[in-house]
Each structure stands twice: as structure tokens, then as C-alpha cells.
Chains A and B, each alone.
Chain A
Amino acid sequence: VKIALIGFGSVGQGVAEVIGRKDLGITITGVADSKGGAIDNNGLAIDRILSRKSETQCCGEPGITPMDIITGADYDALVEVSPTNADTGEPALTYIRKAMDQKRHVVTSNKGPIALAYRELRSRAAAQQVQLRYEATVCGAVPIFHTLDHGLGGNTIQSIHGVMNGTCNYILSRMAAEGLTYDQALIEARELGYAEADPTYDVKGIDTAIKLVILANTVWGLDMTLHDVNITGIDQLTPDALRLAEEQNHTIRLIGEAIYHTGLLRVSPRIIKRDDPLVVDGTLNAITLKTDLAGELTFVGKGAGSTETASAIIGDLIFIRDCYANGA
């Protein structure tokens, strides 16, 4: 399978590195970041683009844009891994539409376009008879969409509960374990690289809400957006709150909750039994599905990291290769 890779930050480099290291039958014919790009329809040399990126901060030649690659390179699937814009989804949304219009499959880790324009992208993919896959958008390494689409194919999903933001989970784990204040735990998370300089998007629950929207739209074919989610973040929580919960063998976690029969979409800190399978420590993610046939299932795994995210993207690519792409 030939891919065009748009975005060459930690996720893009992770994808390239894995493709270079493992013999997966995947060739990169185009790559672009915000500064430039490169095209070679016979396959780019991955070690070259990785070393150029680390030396010059740019993966290719200045002047070659993502659009040049999307319209000019020879590829089967667009891998769109540029940074998320939760407000507009751009420029990724434009790239995805353009690739689909040229009958190319799309694999993305970008939450913005999927949360904002799910219905439209879904119908565009159907009209163009291409695949749209976005395993990496929710819970990083956990193959939740493959599981929902295939493993749990005949099930009705009744509810989804998830710990889907590693930053928040790290902060709450530390507040519970060490009695830290929210501010202390946030500083620690930043020092370890688990929190952004501006943590708003994570700690206010927006990131979790976006993932919840993506899950709900996918599972139930809805057309929800961020505005349909009732959101409360974790930044007002006190060490006493954690302690009062712990006294009763409970703890507090930021939970994304979607209930089918009430249409409820909610992100809020919740008191939860300490032995609940959703209670994971550190930056781990967990998700519990309640289904009619399989009962309750909980999946736990790493929610971020370049190799973990690459795992999800490559899983999507292999699926497309095996089921849809001609040749490889």
C-alpha cells in the first residue's frame, strides 16, 4: 500500500519509523509538514526524511505543500496526522475532503475533522467508495473502533464509559495517591511531559468530550458535536475531595459517559469504586462498553505516545490493505 503522510510531528515520525523498521508492505510516496514536503512515487527513503527532519526541522523541500502531495503523489491512502484544531478541523478537513474526492482512502489521528464533520465525511467516503478510518483518535493504542465494527459487530452498544485523557488521569491519580493539590499535580505532569504548557483543552474536559462525540457518532450513527456534551473539568477539585472519596474506598476520575437510551453525553469528574476496572493509574486510558450480547467489556491501554498512536494508524492501514487496496 502506498501512503501520503501529512503531518510530521511526533505521530508522523512514529508512523514513518515503524514503517521503516517493520516489513509491512507499506510505502511512503509523499510526506509534508508545516514547512515543506517531499514526493517520490517509488517510495521515499524513510531514514533520509527522518534525519532531515531532525537536522532541519523540515521533512523535505520548502515549497512543496500538503496539497501538492494530495493532488500530485501516487498513493492509495492519505495518512493525516497534523495537529488537531477542535474549532474548525482545518486544515486537515480540507486535506481529507480533497483526498476522498480523488478516491483515496483516509486514515487520520486528527480528532477535529471527525468530531466536527463526521456525517459529511462518512457520506463522502461512501459516495467515493473509499474507507475513512480514525482508530488513533480515541484511546491511542486501544483498537476500540476495530473492536466495535468487527469484534462486537452484532451487538447493540447500550452505554460507553471511558477514562480517555491521560493528562487528567495522571493528575487525579497523583492527587489521590499523594494528597497533592491540583496545581502541584499539574506542575508534576508538565515536568514529565504529560501536560501541555496550556492544559485547558485537557483539564477542562474538552479533549474527552471530543472523543466521546466521535465514539457516539460512530457507534450510534448520530450527528453530535462538542456543543451537545455536558462538560465539567477537573480543575476545581480539591485534595479533600479525593480524600473524602478514598475514605469510602472510592476515588475520583474524569469520566466520559454516553448512554444510548437517554441520549446523554456527559464529561465530568465522578466518584467511582476503587476496584472498578475503569480506575487505571497514571496516563493509561480505559473504556467500558455495555452491550446486549457480550455483556460488559473493559479495554485498557496507552492513550498517547508516538509509537502507540502509530500502532493504531498502521492497524487501519493494514485493514485497508487487506480489504480494499489493489496491489500492495
Chain B
Amino acid sequence: MKLEMKDTPGQLVTALKPISDVGGNIIAIVHQRDPSTPSDTIDVQVVLDLAEKRLNDLLDLFKRHDVHVQRIGKERLIHKRSLIMIGHIMHTDLSDTVDQIDRTGYAEVSELHMVMPAIHEPSTARITIKSANEADMNRAVELLRNVSHRKDILVVEPLEEIA
């Protein structure tokens, strides 16, 4: 997110403290003076990792500390899950398999690592899917499971956190 704050000593610390107060994790800070902004304020860009439901708490805290939030950008697809597929992955139209996930609009295939030991023998692939949240991920995995079942491909799913 991009923050705008008064250019006075200690202001940066004041601005960053609320992030840790709501359980956020600061990944990077870019602190620079932008010629287009009024001279008594500075812009700070902060990259942080925060549970979505705590975002409003953070925004309230910023407001109280006179920190103006100019922009919030979100990485939409932060959930990742890797699965292993075994079978005739290529010859059962791999691009169709991938497309079915990509076309959903809520999940996409971000990585595919395939091993083909010999012609006519089953190949093995590790497929990584990204989605915005857990529920979408479960829908995408369900879809992959169904598509693979029709194509006689075995899908080995991860044992998610037991919790």
C-alpha cells in the first residue's frame, strides 16, 4: 500500500507501528519524496502480509494517526497448492486440463513440472494452482479431480493442515 504522512521526525515509526499491532508482517518499505506531492508530506510504500479480515482494523489505526492511505494493492491469488498427477497426462489433452482451471476465473495453474519416463508409460506431473482463498482452492481442486477422473489420471492431493 502507498501511504502519505507528515514529514516530521518519528512519523514513519508512528505509521508502521499499527501494522505490527494488527499482526501484519512488513516485507518491504520504500520511502521516497515524490515531487508531485506537497512538500510537507512524504509518501511511503509498504509491502506487507496481513490477514484480510484485519485490514479494516489497520485502516482505522492509520486514520487515528493521521496517516493517509493513498492506494491499496492486493496480490489476488495468494493461496497456492501443489498436487501430483499420474497417468497419460499429455495424451489426454494437457492444455485442456490446464484450461479448465484457468477458465474458472477464480484459480489458475501457475506451475507444471512434468516427467515422462518412456513412451506409453504413465507420466508424472506436479501441478501448482493459485487462488484467492481457501474456498476457491477447494473448488479448483474438486474440478481438477473430476477432470482427471474422466481422463483416468490419478491425482495425489496434499494433506492440508489437519486443523
List 8 other contacts, CB 8 Å, given A236-B154, A268-B157.
Answer: A236-B86, A236-B122, A237-B154, A245-B84, A248-B126, A252-B84, A257-B159, A270-B157
List B residues at the A interface (Cβ < 8 Å): 82-84, 86-87, 113, 115, 117, 122-126, 154, 156-159, 162-163
Inter-chain contact B157/A296, CB cutoff 8 Å: no
User: In the complex where A238-B122, A240-B115 touch, is A161 in contact with B86 (Cβ < 8 A)?
Assistant: no
CA distance A33 to B101 in the complex (A): 57
Inter-chain contact A255/B159, CB cutoff 8 Å: yes
The chain B residue sitting closest to A250, CB to CB, is B158
Residues 291-303 of chain A, each 1 if its beta carbon lies under 8 Å from chain B, else 0: 0000010000000
Inter-chain contact A237/B159, CB cutoff 8 Å: no
Q: A269 near B: Cβ within 8 Å?
A: yes
Q: Which of B87, B113, B125, B159 touches A161 (beta carbons < 8 Å)?
A: B159
A residues less than 8 Å from B157 (CB atoms): 268, 270-271
CA distance A255 to B163 in the complex (A): 16
What are 24 A-B residue pairs whose CB atoms fall within 8 Å in the complex? Answer: A161-B159, A232-B154, A236-B122, A237-B154, A238-B86, A238-B117, A238-B122, A240-B115, A241-B86, A241-B156, A244-B124, A245-B84, A245-B126, A245-B156, A247-B126, A255-B159, A268-B156, A268-B157, A270-B159, A271-B84, A276-B159, A278-B159, A290-B162, A290-B163
Inter-chain contact A159/B159, CB cutoff 8 Å: no
The chain A residue sitting closest to B163, CB to CB, is A290
CA distance A243 to B156 in the complex (A): 13
Q: A44 near B: Cβ within 8 Å?
A: no
Inter-chain contact B159/A240, CB cutoff 8 Å: no
How extensive is the interface on chain A, given as a class? 20 to 34
CA distance A222 to B6 in the complex (A): 64
Inter-chain contact A271/B83, CB cutoff 8 Å: yes
List A residues at the B interface (Cβ < 8 Å): 159, 161, 232, 236-238, 240-241, 243-245, 247-248, 250, 252, 255, 257, 268-272, 276, 278, 288, 290, 296
Inter-chain contact B113/A159, CB cutoff 8 Å: no
User: In the complex where A236-B86, A244-B115 touch, is A271 in contact with B158 (Cβ < 8 A)?
Assistant: yes
CA distance A240 to B158 in the complex (A): 16
CA distance A238 to B118 in the complex (A): 12
User: In the complex where A236-B86, A244-B115, A271-B83 touch, is A159 in contact with B158 (Cβ < 8 A)?
Assistant: no
Inter-chain contact A161/B84, CB cutoff 8 Å: no
Q: Which of B84, B125, B162 touches A288 (beta carbons < 8 Å)?
A: B162
A residues less than 8 Å from B117 (CB atoms): 238, 240
Inter-chain contact B84/A241, CB cutoff 8 Å: yes
B residues less than 8 Å from A288 (CB atoms): 162
B residues less than 8 Å from A240 (CB atoms): 115, 117, 123-124
Inter-chain contact B159/A241, CB cutoff 8 Å: no
The chain B residue sitting closest to A252, CB to CB, is B156
The chain B residue sitting closest to A277, CB to CB, is B162
Q: 3 closest Cβ contacts across the A-B interface?
A: A240-B124, A271-B158, A244-B126
The chain B residue sitting closest to A257, CB to CB, is B159
CA distance A66 to B9 in the complex (A): 91
Q: Which of A161, A237, A257, A276 touches B156 (beta carbons < 8 Å)?
A: A237
B residues less than 8 Å from A278 (CB atoms): 159
B residues less than 8 Å from A238 (CB atoms): 86, 117, 122, 124
